[in-house]
Chain A
Amino acid sequence: MYLSKKKANITTQCVACGCCVKTCPFGAITIHKGICAVIDGQKCVGCGKCEAVCPASVIYIALREDVKNEA
């Protein structure tokens, strides 16, 4: 069971700067091996704070169902 219908998603052009990690109030984001940010779907509530702060604009908020369908 998820906390929210929405979730943050990251595109492949992430620069791994770590701005989103600091901003996330739920600790749902980590930097994976210095390559890109990874979002823990269980913790993310789709608040959009990471999207607002991402300097590369590679984070977007979408409905979990939509992302599943895309995959």
Chain B
Amino acid sequence: MKRKHWSDYLWIASSVYLALGFFNILFAWLGMICFITPLFLSVIGGSKIYCNRYCGRGQLFELLGSGFGLSMKRNPPRFLRSKWFRYGFLTFFMTMFLLMIYNTYLVFAGAGLREAVTLLWVFRLPWNWTNTSFAAPWAAQFAFGFYGVMLTSTVLGLVTMIIFKPRTWCVYCPMGTMTQGICIMKHRKERENGRKSETNSGTFKNIGQ
């Protein structure tokens, strides 16, 4: 039996994060860790180590789907893994994220704070039981928006976990698509640079002759 690593328990962090949002929406800011870390690791390291080892959400789906048997474990439809769908979903997700940033800017510029979490980009859930008075209104607005993004992805992940395989969310996760895209670009560039240096060294050899 494989020994458990500390990173195998990151599902606890994901669960705690989702729970904390119910107590105080400002905890939503912590979600930025899940947003920046995978990008940082893929840009610097050129790998998907975050998805492979440190993604608490993926672990949570695995635990619920396989451990608790909540998944029907059916194969997901083919379109879900197609480049068109994955990059299309990434574009859509990022557009909604930018809209959320714009709303934060509006509050920063003087618009009123909207104490609601938008679920699945349509449903506005009133979220006015948390005290946000000690934070700047724009910071609170960002927290509402970001928690909506995190909750939406969790709900989508849970639905696809139940209907299909436990980690079906990983197939079309915008962060996963983005980090894989970064890795592809990074290694393509390295390969091209490698080829160039090979050509250059060849040219120098020829000149030398």
Contact = CB atoms under 8 A, between A and B. Distances in A.
Interface of A: 13, 15-19, 21, 31, 33-35, 52-58
B47 A58 contact: no
Given A15-B171, A17-B167, A18-B51, A33 B81 contact: no
A16 B180 contact: yes
Contacts, number: 77
Contacts of B51: 16-18
B131 interface: no
Contacts of A33: 46-47, 183, 187
Contact of A55 (B168, B177, B184): B168
B80 interface: yes
Nearest to A33: B187
Interface of B: 42, 46-49, 51-53, 58, 62, 73, 75-76, 78, 80-83, 86, 164-171, 176-177, 179-180, 182-184, 187
B170 A35 contact: no
Interface centre among A13, A16, A54 (most CB of B within 10 A): A16
Contacts of B58: 17
Contacts of B82: 13
Contacts of B184: 35
Nearest to B42: A34
Contact of B176 (A15, A21, A35, A57): A15
A34 B76 contact: no
Given A13-B82, A34-B42, A55 B183 contact: no
A56 B177 CA distance: 13
A41 to B, nearest CB: 21
A13 B81 contact: yes
7 contacts: A13-B82, A15-B177, A17-B167, A19-B62, A31-B47, A55-B168, A57-B81
A33 B49 CA distance: 9
Contact of A19 (B75, B76, B170, B180): B170
Interface centre among A19, A21, A55, A57 (most CB of B within 10 A): A55
Nearest to B2: A22
